[in-house]
Structure 1
Amino acid sequence: MSAESDLYTILSGHAALTALVSTRIYPDAMPEGTAYPVVVFTRAGTEPIGTIHGTTHGEFASMRVECWGKTRTSADAVAAAVNAALVAAKEVPTGRAGGFDPEAGLFATTIDVTLLAL
């Protein structure tokens, strides 16, 4: 399995998160005309796990989960549910940041997490 499919499984299987976003959990980009709030996740980086024999045995995948909403409160509520989903899956979020897209008029809260993919 990939880190992306693992992360999607973690997020889409968490009742508190799906109560807020329903099925609006997307890899890489949200479709045009999407309702809000919404979750978009991307791979921010990859660190292969090397062996002493020069082969790889999996990877650490740095993932970024963006929680978008029409208000700061909405984006933060979704981010709190994402955080809870990750913790329930025994994954430890490594960072959190806020943002605003003035062109779209949307607020974002971003959660970073590193997943082990074997």
Structure 2
Amino acid sequence: MDMLIDAGIVIGALAVSAALGALLVSVVLRWVEPEGYAPGVLRGGTWIGVLERLAITGATIAGYPEAVAVVLAVKGLGRYPELRATGTDQRAKATERFIIGTLASYLWAGLIGVLATLLF
């Protein structure tokens, strides 16, 4: 029975991290940038965010916080060419949006992971 409860905690934490994290990051970015943002500069950001939150929350629950550094490195290296290829003004906005969204996403995912571990 304990294993089912633990599995429920893990699945619930991953769902909250991924789903509510997307909403949270969206709200934070709208708050920081109320006038809007040029779409298409950093394509796939929503899906990347969901996957990174799943990885960070899962790594935290598994007791492997070092994996957060791996996720951050992969994301940074993966986005670097795209950020460098944009125009100067758009690059500054895209970089700022990338950093704010990433930090909000990571903080949320870490928080959910820690809260889940406290429930075990």
Shorter-chain TM-score bucket reads 0.3 to 0.5
Give 1 or 2 for the bigger CA radius of gyration: 2
Q: Which has the higher contact order (CA 8 A, sep 6+)?
A: 2
TM-score by length of 2: 0.36
